[in-house]
Structure 1
Amino acid sequence: MSLNPKIVGQAEDAHEAVLVRALATTGVTKQHWIALTLAATATDPAPTGEPAARLSQALRSADPAQVRQILDDLVTAGLLTTEHAVTPAGQELFARVRAETGQVVARAYAGIPADDLRTAARVLELVTSRLDREA
């Protein structure tokens, strides 16, 4: 067996299903989750406009209105401040979903040698980088 788009897609779909299940009762979509994750894992406060730019890149979306709506939704839900910092409610949701999905993913990856996981990560990062350049 060789790495190919079908295998990569199936792995992505399986990971996404775990996330969707964890988000099912939260009112947060995958796009909202990506925005919340970017805000929750940011190391420094982002300059004005940067959260939207990072989200646009992460979603591979050139639609500024869609990106603004996602951020506005999180502000309205009380998960982000108007400056796009994570609120305490946002931190709680982020921690809860991350813990739930982390447990499932840890079980899925259990027993796979660390060297194999590092190799898979390197290959997927390289493929992603090359495809991003093509796009």
Structure 2
Amino acid sequence: MTTSTPVLNSRVIGLAHYAARALLESVLARHGATFQQSVTLRLVAVADGPVETEHLVESVVASLKVDAEEAHSVVDELLAAELLAPQESSRVRITDAGRELHETTSAETAPITARIYDGIPTEDLAVAGRVLSLITERANAELAK
């Protein structure tokens, strides 16, 4: 095993993603929610109001790299669990229970996130953010080909 500083590559990014996701999923599991549901619920929780269902599905597809059928299924799960509710004919809104779940899981993950990022210089986080955003942009462009 080497102790050299890892070079940023897809493996390093993937390991960081899955480690952080596992932590989030452990919090979500205590509340009976999945990662996909959390991502979908957050998109509605941070919106200014009701969200067009098709726009939500497109956002889930873009975020999670799943097909539209799977994204619709997640929206349906959230509707069935009464975490989202229909609004007009083509929109959904977050319910009080959905907002409570989002706020509770966010509050439970906040101290974990703080511990993970503790001691990392702000400048390093800014560089990492810019680099990862560029990688995401380029990967999305490749997927669109």
Question: TM-score, normalised on structure 1?
Answer: 0.92
State the number of aligned residues: 134
Q: Secondary structure at the match of 1:85?
A: strand
Higher relative contact order (CA 8 A, sep 6+): 1
Name whichever structure is richer in strand by fraction: 2
1:27-82 deviations in Å (ceiling 9; x for gaps): 211111110011111234323521122122212123x3221111011011010012
Separation of aligned partners in 1, 2:46 and 2:8: 30
Two-structure CA RMSD over aligned residues (Å):
1.3
1:96-123 deviations in Å (ceiling 9; x for gaps): 1011111101111011111110110000
Gaps of 5+ in 1: none
Gaps of 5+ in 2: none
| Residue of structure 1 equivalent to 2:102 | 94
Q: Does structure 1 retain, via aligned residues, the 8 Å contact 2:50–2:94?
A: no
Q: What percentage of aligned pairs have identical amino acids?
A: 36
Does 1:26 pair with 2:21?
no
| Residue of structure 1 equivalent to 2:124 | 116
Give the number of the structure whose alpha-carbon radius of gyration is greater: 2
Question: TM-score, normalised on structure 2?
Answer: 0.86
